[in-house]
Amino acid sequence: MIGTTISHYRILEKLGEGGMGVVYRAEDTKLRRPVALKFVSPRVLGSGEEQVRFLREAQAAAALNHPSICTVHEIDEADGLTFIAMEYVEGQTLRARIDSGPLSMDESARLASRIAEGLAAAHSKGIIHRDIKPSNILLTPTGQVRITDFGLARLSGTTEITRRGTMTGTLAYMSPEQIRGAEIDHRADIWSLGVVLYEMLTGRRPFRGERDGAVLYSILNEDAARPSDTRPDVVALLERVVFRMLSKDPSSRHADAEEVIDDLAGIASGEETIAPVAPTGGRESRPSVAVLPFADMSPDRDQEYFCDGMAEELINALTHVDRLRVSSRTSSFQFKGGGQDIRDIGRKLGVRSVLEGSVRKAGARLRITAQLVSCADGCHIWSERFDRDMEDVFAIQDEISLAIVDALRPELLGEERAKLVRHPTADPEAYNLYLQGRWFWKKRTHDGLMKAIEYFERAISVAPDFALAYTGIADSYNDLLDYSSSPPDDAFERARSAALRALEIDDTLPEAHASLGLLKSEHEWDWDGAEREFRRAIGLNPRYASAHQWYAHLLLNTVGPEEALEEYRRALELEPHSLSINRNYGYMLLAAGRDDEAIAVLRRTLEMEPDFIYTHLILAMVHALRGMFDEALAELLEEERVVGGWHPLVEGWRGIVQALSGSIGPAEDTLQRLIEVSSRGYVPASQIALLCFALDRRDEGFEWLERARTRGDAHLFLSLCMFRRRAFAGGDLRLAEFLAKLGLEP
């Protein structure tokens, strides 16, 4: 097939062959990019039912987007051949790396952690790989990991690659439950990763035999030799992690891939945090819980904000408990009002228990019911009803939180108990107003943000020392600079004043440090000060996803896109369903020049919320920079619909698309309209600068850039990546001078 063209792919060379079919390196003649084409063997596809299953699983895999997962571009059929077009990854397989000799402990732990990160992302979508092995792990020249063949293992056809029928996976890496043909879950992948980690450390598999039957017997009945028997320098802590992953009983393994990451991080930091585990397991995994939004059972159904706020406060409180893993807000809140089976929720979120409840408010009286349910069998672990006056709301939260902790029996230190019952304010009316403010803040609209500010200010009028309410004001005014087409001139000063006031009241509040860090980085260009604030916020609460997200924005400009993407991955691990984190992760990928991944992430964001602001706009940017101008204009029309009419950012990028596509006259007209509007209204100066550079009007472009710098333009911070991604300034030395004024390297 070398030299032929299938669909719009020109075959260049053969990369490999196996039970699934043949893999080639090819060129996408439409997008001018290298790809890997996997032609699936007709024998593998089998019957019509199996073909339908293959397509369903391949489509699910194509929806995955994570730096540790090889991106699937499309699944297609041409000339009677079914093929998958995937990201082409330069480098070698982990199989080849292991064959060259055992890896160091540090490298083994690092690679295993990266693989676990990819698995965690897949498992959160309900996708199990079923065939984790070294030949399905690609290593880039920079040491990054890419997992291939998601969703395909159960359809492979041979003993060496994958068995059809009751057993799915490569025999040497199969979990005991796979071999028995029992129902499997994400913990089967954890077993396989344990085999891979063992092999990285020792250069050989833990369960071996000359024939398949001997390997099968060893997996089911024998304990693996200790890695330290072969390699004495393997530390006991790492050995215990491997044996826990290789527990015959799935319930004795790590509860999820995130827990594997935690244990491997403990090795990297030298912290002895893992209790001893026998080679066959026997210790239950750490307790975990998801808190679902409480149902509003009030007569007027007007307490939704309070129900959501109640769940959020419980989540925040429980995250302070050592060894209790708490599902993030966005992960738990996806099941709001859905009526799903608790066992399904537990499987999707990877938790062992779920807290659900209801709120009924009549006058000043509250009736709150809460029940903790086991995800294993759907049975109640604990339930309680609380009848209280409104002013007892904090006492109710304390009772529920401490009762859950007691039911789950983690080790609770005195300091953790103090954190658990820490109240944001002593005034229930102020707290209620704060919850309503956060409700409106999450809408991310001009009207919603103004309404949020009103509620936060009312909360402060009732409780003047309510620090969290001040952070709400800071976040709302800061968002007005981003989400409003006409933000108030004093928004930045008000945001800054509110953040400083919050810190004056409580210097240990992570939200306040993160808010101040964002203001310092995006408006003051104080990179060192911003980094100190972000590090302080993360140190106070490592699970605060927004702090990781905003810190990534800083790293994008001060260090580079790869480091920024790494920080964004941490934010996504904590809040995998956050719309803003997913959308801005797409922007980070755009800044790094990883367009295909950016498009996949942005489309996934639109699947979660089709009208989430600026998502279509960023998609338009990707298309414009790739020369796909019709697609870019179509996305701009969609964004215009979402924002409800004319918007300076949409109009600015329409002009950029016109300029890049050669429609100079219309682009010049667009530029003049933006300049005219800016004389009497709000247009980000950085947006006009970008359009000037697209039209090669550099002198004007630098003039507008200088205005953006002196005015603290909220959009300049992220627009800077456009100059690195595409040379709008064409190598002009003045760009380096301008960046130097901001304290940045060219």
- Please give the positions annotated as active site: 131
Q: Is 312 exposed, middle or buried (0-12, 13-18, 19+ CB in 10 A)?
A: middle
| Helix, strand or coil, per DSSP, at residue 254 | coil
CA 37 to chain centre: 27
b/e map 487-504, b = 16+ CB within 10 Å = beeebbebbbebbbbbbe
**DSSP character for 391?**
G
> Residue type for 273, please?
T
The β-bridge partners of 16 are 23
Q: ∠ CA(70), CA(72), CA(78), 5° rounding?
A: 140
Q: Is 338 exposed, middle or buried (0-12, 13-18, 19+ CB in 10 A)?
A: exposed
DSSP 222-247: -PPPPHHHH-TTS-HHHHHHHHHHT-
Q: Supply the angle between the helices 446-462 and 467-483 in degrees, to the nearest 10.
A: 160
- Is residue 367 within 8 Å of residue 386, measured between CB atoms? yes
b/e map 40-57, b = 16+ CB within 10 Å = bbeebbeeeeebebbeeb
Q: Supply the angle between the helices 510-519 and 491-505 in degrees, to the nearest 10.
A: 150
- Helical H runs in 484-560? 491-505, 510-519, 527-540, 545-558
